[in-house]
Amino acid sequence: MKNLCAVLVFALNALSLWAQSTAQIQGIVQDQSALAVAGAEVKATQTDTGAVRTAMSGADGVYVLTSLPVGPYRLEVSRPGFTTYVQTGIVLQVASNPTIDVSLKVGAASEQLQVEANAALVETDRPGIGAVIENQRIVELPLNGRNVFDLIQLAGAAVPAGAGSAGASIPGAQIISVAGGQTFGVAYRLDGAEYNNPYDATSMPFPFPDALQEFKVETSALTAQNGEHSGAAINAVTKSGTNVYHGDLFEYLRNGDLNARNFFAASRDTLKRNQYGGTLGGPIQKNKLFIFGAYQGTRTRQDPISSIAFVPTPQMLAGNFTAFASRDCNSGGQINLPAPFVNNQVSPALFSKAALAVASNLPAAADACGRVIFGARVVSNMYQRRDLQFQVE
C-alpha cells in the first residue's frame, strides 16, 4: 500500500489530475397524477466505472445532475411510498443535456419499474443544432495522417476554408467555416477547457484517434456556455479509464520500397514514414480511481525533392549576358538589355560589391543559363501524447 501511495504522489506531481465532465441529465419527478414529487432521490450510475452521482428533486419535482462524464448510465429514482424507478440504456454524449422525466407509481419501495432507453434521448432546451462524431467513426474511418481534425467536415455544415498560417499554426491545423459563419468564429474545447489557438483561431492539436472518445459540432443559436464565438462550438472529450483494463498498440508504415515508381518520375520515391504508439487505461481502485495514457510518434525521412533556381554564371559576373539572353535560356525568344548596354554587355564595375559578395557563396551553375538543382532532406520527428490522467469519482 505504501508503494502504491508513493507512485500516486509522484505521478500526480508530474502529470495531471482531471475529471471529464461534459454532460448532464435533468427532468421532473411526478406521480401518476402528474403531480410533482419532492424529496425523491435520483441516482445516476456510470456503468463503465461504477461512479455514482446523486441529486434530490425539489418542491417542483425538478432534478439536475451536472458535470457527468460521457458514457452509458443507469438512472434510479426512489422515494418512500413509491416503487423504485430504474432506467437503463442511457448513453450520454459530449455536450449533451437530455431531459428524462420520471413517473413514480405508488407502491412498496422494494418493487421496481424497469425501463429500457434504447431510443435517442431528446434535448428540449438547446436552441442550436449539431452532430456528434462518435468513437466508432473516429477509429474506423480512413484518415490521411490520422488527423482527427479532418472528421469535423462530417458534421454536414462544416467546410474547410484553408490551412493555418505557416510558422504560427499547429502542424496540420485547418481553418473551418461552419454554416457559413466566420472562420475565426469557431470555439474549440477539449474536456471542457478552451482549446483555441489565439493566433489564428484554429484548434490546438486534437488527440490522435486512439486517444479521443468523441466530439460534437454545434451551430445556429448557441447556448450561453458557447456564446463567445458566433460561428460554432466544437466540444471534444478524450478517453478515460474504466473498471476494465483496455489498451492497444499500433504502427502505420509508408515506405517507398513498397511502392511502384511513378510513371513520370526518374526514380522510385524514398519516403520512409512510421507512425506508432499505443494506449492503456484501467482502474487503480475500482469504482473510485482510474488511469488513462496514450502516445503517438511520427518519424518521417525522405531524400531531397528537386527544386530549380537560377544563379549568376561566371560569364554574367564578368559582364557577359549573351548566353543568358539567348533563345536557349528564354522560352519567349531572344532578349536584349536596354540602353545604354550594348550587345548584352555590362561593365562589372557597375555591379554592387555587396551583391558580388553574396554571389560568391552561391552554388555553381549547371549550365550557361545559370540553372541549379537543389533540395533539403526531409527529417521530421513529431510526438503526441496524452499524459497519464487520473480520473477520480
CA nearest to 378, candidates 301, 294, 283 = 301
Between CA 191 and CA 171 the distance in angstroms is 21
Between CA 23 and CA 392 the distance in angstroms is 17
Minimum mean pLDDT among 39-43, 107-111, 209-213, 351-355: which range? Answer: 107-111
**Other C-beta atoms lying within 10 Å of the C-beta of residue 173:** 21
Type of residue numbered 384: Q
pLDDT of residue 271: 87
> Taking residues 204-223, what's their average pLDDT?
87
What residue ranges of the chain are covered by domains with CATH 2.170.130.10?
128-237
pLDDT value at 2 more than 70: no
Between CA 49 and CA 29 the distance in angstroms is 26
Cα 17 to its chain centre, rounded Å, is 21
- What pTM was computed for the model? 0.71
Q: Are 199 and 165 in contact (CB under 8 A)?
A: yes
Between CA 88 and CA 53 the distance in angstroms is 15
pLDDT of residue 85: 93
What residue ranges of the chain are covered by domains with CATH 2.60.40.4130?
21-116
Q: What's phi and psi for 266, nearest 5 deg?
A: -75, -25
Type of residue numbered 133: I
pLDDT value at 382 more than 90: no
Task: Provide the phi-psi class of 265: left if phi over 0, else alpha when psi is between -120 and 50, else beta.
Answer: beta
β-pair type (41-46, 52-56)? antiparallel
Q: What is the mean pLDDT of the chain?
A: 84
**Other C-beta atoms lying within 10 Å of the C-beta of residue 65:** 20
CA dihedral 104, 105, 109, 113 (to 10 degrees): -80
pLDDT-derived band at 4 (thresholds 50, 70, 90) equals: very low
The pLDDT tens digits for 41-73 are 999 999 999 989 999 999 999 999 998 999 999
The three-state (H, E, C) secondary structure of 305-322, written as one string: CCEEEECCCHHHHCCECC
Map grid coordinates 557597375 to a residue: 350
The domain over range 21-116 is classified in CATH as 1.10.540.10: no
Q: CATH number for the 128-237 domain, one of 3.20.20.100, 3.40.1310.30, 2.40.50.140, 2.170.130.10? A: 2.170.130.10
pLDDT of residue 298: 93
